[in-house]
Structure 1
Amino acid sequence: MSYSWNSYDPASFYDEMFSGKGLPRKESRGIFEFLCGLSGEDIESAKQAALSAIIEMGITFTVYSEGENIDRAWPFDIIPRIIPGDEWSITERGLSQRLRALNMFIQDIYNERNILKEGIVPEDIILSSRDYREQCIGITPAHGAWANICGSDLVRDGSGKLYVLEDNLRVPSGVSYMLENRKVTKRVFPELFRSMEIVPVDDYPAQLFDMLSSLAPDREKEPVIAVLTPGVYNSAYFEHAFLSQQMGAELVEGTDLIVDDDDKVYMKTIYGLEQVDVIYRRIDDSFIDPEVFREDSMLGVPGLMRAWKAGNVGIANAPGTGVADDKVVYCYVPEMIRYYLGEEPLIENVPTWLCRDPESMEYVIEHLPELVVKPANESGGYGMIVGPHAEKDEIEKFRKLIRDNPRNYIAQPTLSLSITPTLCDGKVEGRHVDLRPFILQGENSYVTAGGLTRVALRKGSLVVNSSQGGGSKDTWVIGKRGNNNA
């Protein structure tokens, strides 16, 4: 296999590596020249080395199929995605700005509700949101930060402009794969990390630990931090185990914890009960406390909400955070930034139609074959329709769904998503990508250098989710600062 670059053509798409056919961007020249110097056998050897490393390191994801859970090796492409450092400096400021405003919004709607009273965000949108929690009214978590970990998905359009596609604030996942992608790439191409200014990402577990520690009720002692997982059958269990191990935190299930009469959370150990100060929960609100939410939940901890309200345990992300995860609420984030911060958004939303607005709904229904339509609270690419790729009967089905429940749907233009070179069946071809950076907010704020690049491995596909045929790449921010210890 030759893997010739001569036939690689970005066509009309914005290419992350090339400014034109055969013309690498300034920040991509180093990796391009390196790859051009590799033979087809070298490339195949590197691909196999990456796969071997993924299997050896146990990097898996779970696919739910016909009632079965199937663990698969993480799909990974060895050609990294390149982002210039000067662009990333602006992007990370925009992401931090966005999460600050979102946290101020959540604090507001569970307390003063000023943004609702002034009509900037319609009250009915919030009260009808699936993830609005009356049980959280009147609460202020540590530092006023409800969403302590956020994964905001970014995309580029045909002009190269970055947009925020959506925010993930409930239990955002994927950061472990960002970290493992870097480890695999360093094993496959170690020489590149000696010759190029690649910004490190391996400080994330330490940053996460520090952020979680800042949520502890008693800041005078070393906190006991627990990662609360639904268990081994959850699709993100690899990440739960990985992060707990990297932080030196305890990995627990609901049955490992109890809330005593003193409204404190304790972990069962072979030495007896040990108080837990902070819980990084990877379980949805509905299941975290059967005393308050779903009575039939076997995943959560009875009394956990009592302990949190009493100020005896920190929870990240805080219960009730999901109200800002609603894709209808997403449409109002630019207004939140202006309202709470008095600033203009540094990163724009993708233009969006709210189907709850009758005029917008009629436009969406009429132009459905041209648009992407998403439900308010689904994730993983489920429940959505990509109009240009949809069959006629699916389009008709969505017209009915939208008319029956307009509040539940938004629509966006089918963006000409950027592409990046990807190894595909013995050739280098362009594949569409998005990017999920991770933002932390506690006592301080932190943004990963780049994030998890997800790539649609199927030709022409815009769906990047691993559960639906997508893969990932290492993401290199180049030239931000002279630290090569990536």
Structure 2
Amino acid sequence: MVTQGTSFNEVDALKRSSQHFEMMKNWLDTNSHFKLMTLNQQALSEFHRKGVTFTVYSDAKNTERVIPFDIIPRIITQEDWRTLESGCKQRIQALNAFLHDIYHEQNIIKAGIMPAEHILTNECFEPWMVNIDLPNPIYAHISGIDLIRSDDGQYYVLEDNLRTPSGISYLLESRQISEHLLPELFEAFDIAPVKNYPKMLLQSLIECSNKPQPLIVLLTPGRYNSAYYEHTFLAREMGVPLVNNYDLFVEDNKVFMKTILGREQVDVIYRRLDDAYLDPLAFRPDSMLGIPGLMSAYRTGNVMISNAPGTGIADDKSIYPYVNEMVRFYLNEEPILKNVPTWQCRKPEDLAYVMAHLAELVVKETQGSGGYGMLIGPHSTTEEIEAYRQRILADPAGFIAQPTLSLSTCPTCVEEGIAPRHIDLRPFVLASPEQIRIVPGGLTRVAMRKNSLVVNSSQGGGVKDTWVLQGEGI
């Protein structure tokens, strides 16, 4: 059970590899606070030069900021990584099986494991996808699984990101920064590489297309999107065109890209915009970002969309509590990674508990993301709690609640010195018919503010490089 208490310190896990623990300790002892702060400032300058930014939508001006970076890495032992890797692969297998099932036979409903209304009335359930037979039964080709480590030293899944998961560019840029600024540590440590992620992603999309040389494009909503830097970064690194909707058109149920040499048929669209904006003829008619007729081409099987439309229901927070049962139902296995205990406010008994313990819990919107719209009970005023109570009572199905988690901490260089700060981890999972690939480690997000449990960049969080150790004796 995850409870509030003393946070697990990631240094304790590193002590299992005494040699690496001593090397990191010696490095920290021999570098002054001023030197570490200087390195952080160099990293910030490099991020600014490259345009590694994010947008704060809670700001009235939609302020664009450079994401904070901390030079002290988060280190994961090979033993821990094996568990995380296996658990993430298992989870994505189950979630893809679930998506195929609910758009076809709906066996999980027939078996009484999930109520039909949880799925069929969910706003993320996409009727357009019913009975579409994909060439490969994979819906979530690219996923980000958010993990936390609690005071018991165990990893738990906080949430799944299966729509348009972002953050991989922060991971790759963080590694480039730390390799550049910490060459002596990279010589001393045997660290699993991450730079091949774009090639892994490209290969995975090729395998999903069932074509030897498919034309793959990355569809962006444009430069005002908060993750636009990542869109340009991935397109460049994969060597595929970065396109807007006006670069594409549909004719005879096929998608074409306009080029200076004429039109070319598109086989795969790696989309970075939400379902509602993909096709104004199928979804929102006022969308200025989508391609008219895209869903007809998709239903005909003439183009692959990654991730598939309708995938969002599998990462809806009201579906999250059932993922462990999905693993058992579809894979006949016990979950390797457990969920955080969750109360669904749509259930009368759960709602009663949440109302009675609101000041102790974290409450989230089922459709929320980015740390927006949350209530962290222990850190909220009486007025904030009561206002949130009314929001829940007005729409119980729109909220879930969880215990206040004791996220693990990692040494972090802040103004007052080296101090523990709470962290989470987002490994990125690539699924194809041939294999499931995971770049070693993932994106470590860090709450830069003292005692804060919110690691999202939009809420003041930063990032760290994540080192997965390799070699013997770990």
**Pairwise TM-score range, normalised by the shorter structure:** over 0.9
In 1, Cα distance between the equivalents of 2:378 and 2:93?
36
Match of 1:411 among 381, 397, 401: 401
* Alignment counterpart, residue 247 of structure 1, candidates 223, 232, 238: 238
1:382 CA displacement: 1.0
d(CA) in 2 for partners of 1:256 and 1:347? 42
Deviates more, 1:193-202 or 1:225-234: 193-202
Q: 1:134 to 1:251 in 2, by over 3 A?
A: same
Within a 5 Å distance, the mapping from 1:42-441 to structure 2 comes to 42-64=35-57, 66-216=59-209, 219-220=211-212, 222-260=213-251, 262-441=252-431
* SS class of match (2:308): coil
Separation in 2, partners of 1:15, 1:25: 15
Q: 1:446 aligns with which of 437, 441, 452?
A: 437
Question: What letter is aligned with 2:299?
Answer: K
In 1: Cα distance, 2:97 partner to 2:13 partner: 40
Structure 1 residue 464 corresponds to structure 2 residue 437:
no
Cα separation, partners in 2 of 1:44 and 1:413, compared to 1, 3 Å:
closer
Partners of 2:197 and 2:33 in 1: how far apart? 35
Q: 1:29 to 1:398 in 2, by over 3 A?
A: same
Aligned residue pairs, count: 467
Q: Cα distance, 1:270 vs. partner?
A: 1.4
Over the matched positions of the two proteins, sequence identity in percent amounts to 51
Q: Compute the displacement of 1:130 (Å).
A: 1.5
Q: What residue number does 1:13 align with?
A: 7
TM-score, normalising length: structure 2: 0.95
Greater alpha carbon shift after TM alignment, 65-74 vs 277-286: 65-74
Query: 1:373 & 1:65 partners in 2: Cα distance?
Result: 19
Q: Which stretch shows the higher mean deviation, 90-99 or 394-403?
A: 394-403
Q: What is the alpha-carbon distance in structure 1 between the residues aligned to residue 117 and residue 468 of structure 2?
A: 41
* Aligned-residue CA RMSD (Å): 1.7
Tell me the distance in 2 between the aligned counterparts of 1:295 and 1:412.
37
> In structure 2, do the counterparts of structure 1 residues 481 and 250 end up closer, same or farther at CA, with 3 Å as the change threshold?
farther
Query: Contact (CA 8 Å) 2:340, 2:402: kept in 1 or not?
Result: yes
Q: Deviations over 1:55-82 (max 9, x none)?
A: 2322222223554333222210000001
d(CA) in 2 for partners of 1:450, 1:308: 34
Q: Displacement, 1:371?
A: 0.5
CA distance in 1, matches of 2:178, 2:341: 35
Q: CA deviation at 1:481?
A: 7.3
The Cα of 1:87 is off from its aligned counterpart by: 1.0
- For 2:62 and 2:400, the matched residues in 1 are separated by 31
**TM superposition shift of 1:389:** 0.5
Give the TM-score of the pair, scaled to structure 1: 0.93
Answer whether contact 1:17 1:24 (CA < 8 A) is retained: no
User: What is the distance in 2 between the residues matched to 1:35 and 1:313?
Assistant: 52
Secondary structure of residue in 1 paired with 2:231: helix
Q: Take 2:340 and 2:176, find their aligned partners in 1: how far apart are those partners?
A: 33
- Residues of 1 paired with 2:59 and 2:165: CA distance? 25
Given that residues 126 and 310 in structure 2 are in contact (C-alpha distance below 8 angstroms), is that contact kept between their aligned partners in structure 1?
Answer: yes
* SS across alignment from 1:462: coil
Per-residue CA distance 1:134-177 (angstroms, 9 max, x = gap)? 11100132320001111010001111110000001111110110
| Deviating more after overlay: 274-283 vs 189-198 | 189-198
Q: Deviations over 1:316-374 (max 9, x none)?
A: 00001011111010100000000000000000000111111111110111001001111
Name the amino acid aligned to 1:468: Q
Distance 1:480 1:316 in 2: 35
Separation in 2, partners of 1:122, 1:134: 17
- Provide the C-alpha distance between the structure 2 equivalents of 1:325 and 1:480, rounded to a whole number of angstroms: 35
Deviation at 1:29, TM superposition (A): 2.8
Equivalent residue letter for 1:474: D
Q: Secondary structure at the match of 2:195?
A: coil
The answer to whether the 8 A contact 1:432-1:455 is kept is yes
Q: Contact 1:325–1:377 at 8 Å: present in 2 too?
A: no
CA distance 1:37–1:224, change in 2 (3 Å) = same
Offset of residue 426 of structure 1: 4.0
Range moving further from structure 2, 62-71 or 185-194 = 62-71
For residues 178 and 142 of structure 1, what CA distance do their matches in structure 2 show? 31
How much has 1:121 moved relative to structure 2?
Answer: 0.9
Give the unaligned 5+ runs of structure 1: 1-10
Indicate if the aligned counterparts of 2:99 and 2:311 stay in contact, CA closer than 8 A: yes
Q: Check conservation: 2:191, 2:469, Cα contact below 8 A.
A: yes
Classify 1:281/1:108 alpha carbon distance in 2 versus 1 (closer, same or farther; 3 Å). Answer: same
Q: 1:141 to 1:186 in 2, by over 3 A?
A: same
Displacement of 1:41 after TM fit? Answer: 4.1
Could you tell me whether the CA contact under 8 Å between 1:287 and 1:299 is conserved in 2?
A: yes
Asked if 2 retains the 8 angstrom alpha-carbon contact of 1:141 and 1:318, the reply is no
1:327 aligned counterpart, secondary structure: coil
Contact 2:145 2:160 in 1 (8 A): yes
User: Contact conserved, 2:33 with 2:418, CA < 8 A, in 1?
Assistant: no
TM-superposed CA distance for 1:384, in Å, is 1.2
Give me the whole-angstrom Cα distance separating, in 2, the residues matched to 1:98 and 1:66: 35
Is the contact between residue 76 and residue 441 of structure 2 (CA under 8 Å) also seen in structure 1?
A: yes
Letter in 2 for 1:288: L
Q: In the alignment, which residue of structure 2 is the partner of 1:3?
A: none
Task: Output the CA distance in 1 between the equivalents of 2:193 and 2:96.
Answer: 27
Residue range with higher mean Cα deviation, 48-57 or 103-112: 48-57
- The one-letter code matched in structure 2 to 1:259 is V
1:477 and 2:468 equivalent?
yes
Aligned-pair CA distance for 1:480: 5.6
Shift of 1:45: 3.2
